[in-house]
Amino acid sequence: MQDILPRVPLLDLTRPQLASLLAGWGQPRYRSDQVWDWLYRQLATDPAEMTNLPKELRARLAAETRLELLALIHEQRSNDGRTVKWLFQLHDGLTIETVLMSYPPDEGPGQGETVLMSYPSDEGPGQGRRTVCISTQAGCAMGCVFCATGQAGLARNLTAGEIVAQTLAAERWLAGEAQNDEQGGGGESQAAAHAPRPAPAARRLTNVVVMGMGEPLANYERTWQALAALTDRDGFNLGARHITISTVGLPHGIQRMAAEPLQVNLAVSLHAPNDALRGQLAPINNRYPLAEVLAAVRDYIARTNRRVTFEYALMEGINDTPALARELAVLLRGMLCHVNLIPLNPVAESPYQPSGPERSSAFQAILERNGIPTTMRMRRGVEIDAGCGQLRRRHA
Ligand code: SAH
Ligand code: SF4
């Protein structure tokens, strides 16, 4: 049913915007801090839960705002239970994907099938990591030939709230799992449903990677607004260093990132060491050739002193030869960087295939011998179509 007045999506508001909305309603200043806390710390999904607000305010929030921005339409879990992928529907019927990956404590970076992002983090040993991979656009305009998202084109940018909501959904899911464990896996009893809400436990999600559907630097403001909300100390309180943005390589966006106060990590999808090959795989390279991308990255490193990750999806017979590995090593020599090798996630009806283990290891060895640090990210969740845009494609 169509509302008469469009309801304000609360998660689309910055903290100052929320404050001015409530100030406009004649509410004292501290009310907006309380609402912010309910949204980002207590993960409320309904104003009725906001029990420290006056009844009339709860009623007005219920009538004039919206909390839920995503409708779950499909969930897929890997056999080992460590990867969960969701297909969410937006209010206009478009769909996006979000993936949650859990890494047990003994799987340090560089071992086993672990590494999505191999940054050392301050969770300390014994904690494990829980990383959510979020989307920033419904579709993508960049048209990379090996990417399921790229094949369908761009439908629209996500709003900041839609980006934030994916992260909150993952945190709620983790909280639900933890509660199930405590209750011995039993379902929610009537008594539990009416029990007072427990105080919010420490946040369970440890990392956010902006590597789902879409090109984040082509939806720059909204992506950044979402990250500002997620890192707010009075709310979700995620550390900026636990966030990684992956870009196809838009030089202006990389330059803007270098000037941001929020110190998030940068990953650049390279996939080839020269313009001829990269232009075939990632057509945006024809507009922003490698020299421009790498100049922006060098400048970023000089200004931030942060190590940049280059992603390289290994495709059998396409970009995985020893000659290309040597060319890549020359290209990146001396840079404060790190190459993340990922055997391609095969996409249905695509001619591109993942490199086998021998070719992948040989490629990696050449980079290492030439002083380029690498990690090999093994295919995680292939069985559940966890590659970018693959679940949506299967579902369509
Ligand atoms: N648009 C951004 C972020 C989303 S894609 C970017 O391109 O970086 C996230 C990563 O998944 C990118 O490195 C992208 O190249 C990679 N990717 C896309 N399709 C893939 C596939 N089929 N197999 C492996 N990696 C893939
Ligand atoms: Fe877009 Fe990234 Fe896919 Fe390329 S790889 S089409 S930039 S989502």
Task: Choose the final residue of a domain: 66, 82, 111.
Answer: 66
Q: Do 374 and 325 share a structural domain?
A: yes
Domain assignment present for residue 31? The answer is yes
Query: Domains in the chain: how many in total?
Result: 2
Q: 4: which 2 tokens?
A: 């008469």
CATH number for the domain harbouring residue 16: 1.10.150.530
Enumerate residues lining ligand 2, CB below 6 A: 140, 142-144, 147, 149-150, 214-215, 248, 269, 388
304 falls within a domain: yes
Please check whether residue 337 lies inside any domain of the structure: yes
Q: Give the number of whichever ligand sits closest to the CA of residue 223.
A: 1
Residue 298 half-sphere exposure toward CB, CA atoms < 13 A:
11
**Is 275 part of a structural domain of the chain?**
yes
The reply to whether 291 and 388 lie within a common domain is yes
**21 and 100 belong to one structural domain:** no
Within-domain flag for 3 = no
Q: Is 135 strand, coil or helix? A: coil
For residue 267, the domain's CATH number is 3.20.20.70
Query: Which ligand lies nearest to the CA atom of residue 146 in the structure?
Result: 1
* Residue 118: CB atoms within 10 Å: 17
Does the active-site annotation cover 97? yes
Residue whose Cα lies nearest atom 8 of ligand 2: it is 214
- Is 388 an annotated catalytic residue? yes
Asked if residue 130 lies in contact with residue 207, where contact means CB atoms within 8 angstroms, the answer is yes
348 shares a domain with 265: yes
- Tell me how far apart the alpha carbons of residues 240 and 121 are, in angstroms, rounded to a whole number: 11
d(C-alpha 87, C-alpha 93), whole Å? 12
- Residue 309 has a pLDDT of 97
The answer to whether the CB of 344 is under 6 A from ligand 1 is yes
The pLDDT tens digits for 57-110 are 999 999 999 999 999 999 999 888 889 999 999 999 999 999 999 988 765 443
Domain that holds residue 125: 71-395
CB atoms within 10 A of CB 127: 13
| Residue 101 CA to ligand 1 centre (angstroms) | 16
Mean predicted lDDT score pLDDT of the chain: 88
Q: Are residues 128 and 224 in the same domain?
A: yes
Whole-model pTM: value is 0.91
Give the mutation target among 98, 140, 147 for probing the ligand 1 site: most ligand atoms within 8 A of CB. Answer: 147
Q: Which ligand sits nearest to residue 245's alpha carbon?
A: 1
Six-digit token pair at 358? 């021998």
Specify the residue with its C-alpha closest to ligand 2, atom 4: 144
Q: Which residues, 6+ apart, have CB-to-CB distance to 106 below 8 Å?
A: none
Measured by CA distance, the residue closest to atom 6 of ligand 2 is: 150
Contact 145, 351 (CB under 8 A): no
**Domain contains 1:** no
149 and 90, same structural domain?
yes
Residue 123 and residue 91 share a domain: yes
Q: Which residues of the chain have pLDDT under 70?
A: 1-4, 106-126, 184-201, 378-396
Angle at 100 between CA 36 and CA 284, to 5 degrees: 95
| Atom 10 of ligand 1, nearest CA residue | 211
Tell whether 29 and 82 lie within a shared domain: no
Residues 59 and 136 in one domain: no
244: CA distance to ligand 1 center in Å? 13
User: 261 in helix, strand or coil?
Assistant: coil
Q: How far is CA 279 from CA 221, 254, 268, 274, 369, in A?
A: 27, 19, 15, 8, 27
- Which of 49, 64, 97, 260 is an active site residue? 97
**CB distance 265 to ligand 1 below 6 Å:** no
- Report pLDDT digits (tens) over 7-59: 999 999 999 999 999 999 999 999 999 999 999 999 999 999 999 999 999 99
CA angle, residues 188, 191, 193, in degrees to nearest 5 = 55
Q: Is the minimum distance from the CB of 245 to ligand 1 under 6 angstroms?
A: no
Question: What span, in angstroms and rounded, lies between the C-alpha atoms of 49 and 197?
Answer: 9
Rounded to the nearest angstrom, the distance between the alpha carbon of 57 and the centre of ligand 2 is 43
CB-CB neighbours of 362 under 10 Å: 15
